[in-house]
Amino acid sequence: MYPHERSLVQRLADKPFAILGINSDADKAALKKTLDQEHITWRSWWDGGSTEGPIASRWNISGWPTIYVLDSKGIIRYRDLRGPKLDEAVDTLLKEIQTPKP
């Protein structure tokens, strides 16, 4: 998924858009190496090296990867979209905040 995420970050660089990553990898040093090798430029947190880390627990994550798409108010609007469906969801939410309200 990293290549697709990188393309979103590049395509939406001038838009109000952000990707946040949460990683449950057991080996933090190996994770840092992967983030460097994959050119991960967005914020990414290590969740304690367990699938039951504090972030995963609080958000009730039970499968990896899990993707939440939040709107500008922080409300989860979509979950577990991939590829073109993820792009469409993000573009829809961006249009909502860029369209003037009557």
Q: State the pLDDT at residue 99.
A: 79
| Mean predicted confidence (pLDDT) in 16-31 | 94
Within 1-102, residue ranges assigned H as helices are 2-11, 28-37, 54-58, 83-98
By three-state DSSP, how is residue 32 classified?
helix
Q: What is the DSSP secondary structure assignment for residue 59, as one 8-state letter?
A: T
Multiple choice CATH, 2-98, 3.40.30.10, 3.40.50.150, 3.90.1150.10, 3.40.50.300: 3.40.30.10
Residue 18: pLDDT above 90? yes
Quick: pLDDT tens for 35-71. Answer: 999 999 999 999 999 899 999 999 989 888 999 999 9
pLDDT at 62: 85
How many C-alpha atoms does 16 have within 13 Å on its Cβ side? 12
Q: Mind listing the pLDDT tens digit for each residue in 85-102?
A: 999 999 999 999 987 776
